[in-house]
Chains A and B, each alone.
Chain A
């Protein structure tokens, strides 16, 4: 149980275009979703946290108008990278927790974004 999927697993886009990444909890209700970014050979950086039906809370330094996060249902959250640039190329990872077990955290497999 407790599976989180991400789509796409990898994407290449041109500079200036937008990319949407989907994160789904397949067998549980994800009351909280976390979006992380990881550059090569670096650690995870939390971008934002979202609760179902609420606006996402962005970490300091993360542009909310550039990284649009929507958590419209208990099984789906999306991250849209708007007007992507090469410096946005990274490994984007979502994770989720459920209400009854808030410390258990389930990760999606990640999405590798390359902006050319």
Chain B
């Protein structure tokens, strides 16, 4: 069974720090990976997608993919209280992790 694993948290970081969110997946043939942010009671929004090994940066967000280790991560630099949400990792937009709850402490 194809699985996506995330640390459920909660992960607490002080404002201005770097938040590191991790995700591992079981299907070695997976090609595309997605990070979503979901505020409580709201629908998710796409933060980043990545399909090549290495880093991909977009503003304060960096996604990192290591297919050999079957590992994908999301770094949030200069974390803000507004980043407090649950972050979902997904493979191919089909299989989702359970999400990591991030709290950014002012």
Contacts and interface: CB of A to CB of B under 8 A. Distances in A.
Given A42-B98, A44-B96, A105 B88 contact: no
B9 to A, nearest CB: 13
B98 A46 contact: no
B34 interface: yes
Interface residues of A, number: 17
A93 B44 contact: yes
B93 A108 contact: no
Chain A at the B interface: mostly helix, strand, loop or mixed? strand
Interface in B82-99: 88, 90, 93-99
A104 B49 CA distance: 8
Given A103-B32, A105-B34, A43 B88 contact: yes
**7 shortest A-B CB distances, which residue pairs?**
A110-B43, A43-B96, A107-B43, A103-B49, A105-B46, A44-B96, A93-B43
13 contacts: A44-B44, A44-B90, A46-B95, A46-B96, A59-B94, A91-B43, A103-B49, A103-B51, A107-B43, A107-B44, A107-B45, A109-B42, A110-B43
